[in-house]
Structures are given as structure tokens and as C-alpha cells.
Amino acid sequence: MKANLFVALTLLGAAGQYAMAASPESLDSTTVKKKVSAWDRLHVGGYGEAVFTRNFYSDSYLRYSEPDKYRKGSHGRFDLPHVVIYLGYDFGHGWSMSSEIEFEHGGVESAVEIETEEAGEYEKEIERGGEVNLEQFYIQKEFMPQLKLRAGLQVVPVGGTNARHEPNQFFGVYRPEGENTIMPCTWREVSVSLLGRAGKWGYQAMFLPGLDSERFGNSGWIHDGSASPYEFKIANNYAFAARVDNYSVPGLRLSVSGYVGNSFRNTLYPTSSTKNDGIHGTVTIGSFDFSYSGHNFVTRGSFDWGHLTDSRHISRFNIAMPKTSTSKRQEVASDAVAAGVEVGYNFFSLSPALTAKGQKMFAFGRYDYYDSMARMDGAQSLGWCRRQKISAGVNWYPIDRIMIKGEYTYRILPSAYNNEPSISLGIAYCGWFK
């Protein structure tokens, strides 16, 4: 495994949406006066997060099914949510390669979990086959800034978090909870896309494999539908995704994005029965997100709505699957929703001395609302899937590319359940090394 990891780190190259924004200009331009060395064509970067959280509520798997018995509780966690290595190489003549190698929670995406919906059984969870989590790997040809062709494993640009998921792109210690719950995050697929920027407009259009409805569930809607336990991604169904960004107002970005694709039969499990005729499980997602930076304020927000056709049939199909299957065997909603907004102010801007040192201290507040079972087709929603979250905290930048974060969070559930306060501390870095 160590040998495989060494080879992967040596051969692969960098950078997700962050790389797209920061990738070097084509080196075969006529403005280049001298030969560029191979070392100069190599680009290395990354980001990482270390976190401590204390949750002031019960961690029992029965806390939602028997809330009266679990009104009190407390537990803590140390974690490495994401540690990422970017590697990239510019071959010249408009050709470049980028990749992103990610270690989530300090491991390789294989863990033992206690299943809340399965009587608290211990269960080995495998989110994606393989020993190394390769988040992105693609080759790009740039014809002009307005037109680039990209093929390989890349992030699906739907929603604000997927498009901008580095720790300097959100205030909280963890990524925004709503989008991270109802959609894959970070959502990546082997795909082909066209992208570019012309004046005040940027765009990306993508052709990709469809989601797998076998892995949909109640608490996360389609969140796990992009994962595959196999060494390949099943592509019986196909999908399209697109994103458009506008930068007409200085400091302001307005973005819309969307996804559409069928999800039923995108599995190895037999679906040829006549009772499945006409079932498509079409997933449609519409999203709006924005960010504004100016006058020492930073504001970000997003709204997402998703719809799944044939959700009643898919729910029954999944519940009937064998316990040994990769399915969650749960009901899935026809509709899910997530919305969030955050505002931060840099108080160090009031001090010329701290500003001269390049230090920043943002005090921020954030509100999230999300419901993974916003609408059901012929079944009853689970109330605890509808949540609000209020957060407040600080982000301190002692130097550029280093962030120290502190946050208090109060998650509000419907009155039949117990609310969930917590406090989190984290330190993170994000940037290019060369």
C-alpha cells in the first residue's frame, strides 16, 4: 500500500476548482522569452484541516427514535476532515494535467459505523473502492480562455460548496451542513466538460454518469448516490450538469447551477422485472449561490432544491434488497431542500498595525436550513431530517494561507426531538507551495 501511495503521489497532479482558478497561464505563449524548465511547469499545493469538537447531546443511535430517553449527553471528537495534496503539470501548447489526492478523516474511506436505522448494528462502511481517495484527476486542453476541454475525474460544479470547498471558502470549522447533507460533497465523477470565461461570465457544462438510486437514503437523500463500492463507476445511465457565474459587480459573484439524470438501474443488482418498467428515478437539482467581498465584509449564501421521480417505487425497491447489499434499505424523499447564508466582518481592519502585518480576524454568523425529506410520495417524513442550524464564531488569519477557526453551533430540530449544541475549534491551511 505504501508503494502504491508513493507511485500515486509521484504521478498524479493537482487541483479541483481551486486549481481551475489558480492554474498558470499557458506556457507556450509568445510572451515567454526563455525556455521554461520542467521544474517550473510542476505545481504543488494543497489544503488540510485539523478539528476538535465537543457535542453537548447524546450520541446514542436511538436519540431520534426515543428522544425522551436521551435528553442529556455529551461527547467529543478529534478529526482530520480533509488533508489534500494538489499536483499539477503544464505540458505546454495548452495541455495540462491536474489532480487532487485526498485523505478524509485520516484514513482511506473505510470505517466501522453504528447504523442508526438498523437497531444500532456495527457495520463496515465502504464509501468508495480503492486504497487512496483520488478526488480529481483530469487532463485539460485550453484552446483559449473562453474555451477549455477537460476529461477525467473532476468535481461536479453543482451548488456553492462543490464549486468552492477549500477551508478559506467558508467560515465554519466544517463545510456548510445543508449542501453537505443532501448532495454528494465533494461530488466528483469521471466526466467530460467544456468550460471557460469571457468577460464577466464564466461557465462549465459537463457530461457524466448518473447517480445510483440503490444508495439513496432518508437522512442524506442522494448524498451517497455518486459513490461506488466497486473498482469502477457503473454508467448505465448518464447525466448533465452545468454552472454559470457572473462577476459584473466588483466583489460580487452570482452563480446558478443544475443537474439532471436518471438513477434507477445504475446498479449491478437485477432490475429487469416487468414491475420496474417505466421507472427512471430522474434526479433534478437547481441551485443558486453567491459571494460578496468588500468594505471588510464577506458574505456567502446558497439555495438548493432537488427532485426525484419514482421515489415511492425506489423506496420499496431499496427496502426489499438483501441486507448484504450496499443499499441503505431506506425510504427516500421525492424532494429535498437546503439553504444557508453567512456574514463575516474583519475587525482587524480597524487596526492599521495589524492590517500592515497582513492579519485578519473575521467575526461571523451563519444560518442553515435543510430537509432531506422535504416532500414524500406516499410515505411519512422523518421529523428529525428537518433541521435549522445557527452558528457564530471567528476566523483568524495570523498569516496568509493559515486559518484558525472557532465556532459555536446550535442545531434546532422539531419540538419532538432534542436540540444539538456544539463547540468546535480548528486549524487549516490552503495554498500553493510552488
DSSP symbols for 354-390: HHHTT-EEEEEEEEEEEEEEEE-SSSPPPGGGEEEEE
Q: What is the pLDDT of residue 268?
A: 86
266 neighbors 211 (Cβ within 8 angstroms): yes
Q: In the beta sheet, which residues pair with residue 360?
A: 397
Amino acid at 85: I
Q: State CA 156 to chain mean position distance.
A: 9
Task: Please state the domain extents for the chain.
Answer: 2-27+39-432
Distance CA 73, CA 413 (A): 16
3-state secondary structure of 205: strand
- Where b means 16+ CB within 10 Å and e means fewer, 212-224 reads bbbbbbbbbbbbb
Q: In the beta sheet, which residues pair with residue 396?
A: 361, 404
Q: What is the pLDDT of residue 6?
A: 40
389 neighbors 412 (Cβ within 8 angstroms): yes
- Spans of the chain, pLDDT less than 70: 1-34, 107-132
361 neighbors 248 (Cβ within 8 angstroms): no
Q: What is the pLDDT of residue 122?
A: 59
23 neighbors 82 (Cβ within 8 angstroms): no
Q: What is the pLDDT of residue 130?
A: 41
2-27+39-432: in CATH 2.60.40.3080: no
Task: Tell whether the torsion through CA atoms of 270, 276, 278 and 281 is positive or negative.
Answer: negative
Distance CA 55, CA 52 (A): 10
Residues sharing a CB contact under 8 Å with residue 10, sequence separation 6 or more, in sequence order: none
Phi–psi pair at 393, nearest 5 degrees: 180, -165
Q: What is the pLDDT of residue 279?
A: 95
pLDDT in tens, 401-412: 999 999 999 999
Phi–psi pair at 402, nearest 5 degrees: -115, 130
46 neighbors 13 (Cβ within 8 angstroms): no
Q: DSSP labels for 301-358?
A: EEEEEEEETTHHHHHHHHHTS-TTSSS------SEEEEEEEEEEEEGGGG-HHHHHTT
Q: What is the pLDDT of residue 16?
A: 39
Q: What is the pLDDT of residue 87?
A: 95
187 neighbors 211 (Cβ within 8 angstroms): no
Q: What is the pLDDT of residue 118?
A: 56
Which candidate, 375, 384, 373, 370, places its Cα nearest to that of 413? 384
Q: DSSP labels for 60-104?
A: -TTTTTSGGGGS---EEEEE--EEEEEEEEEEETTEEEEEEEEEE
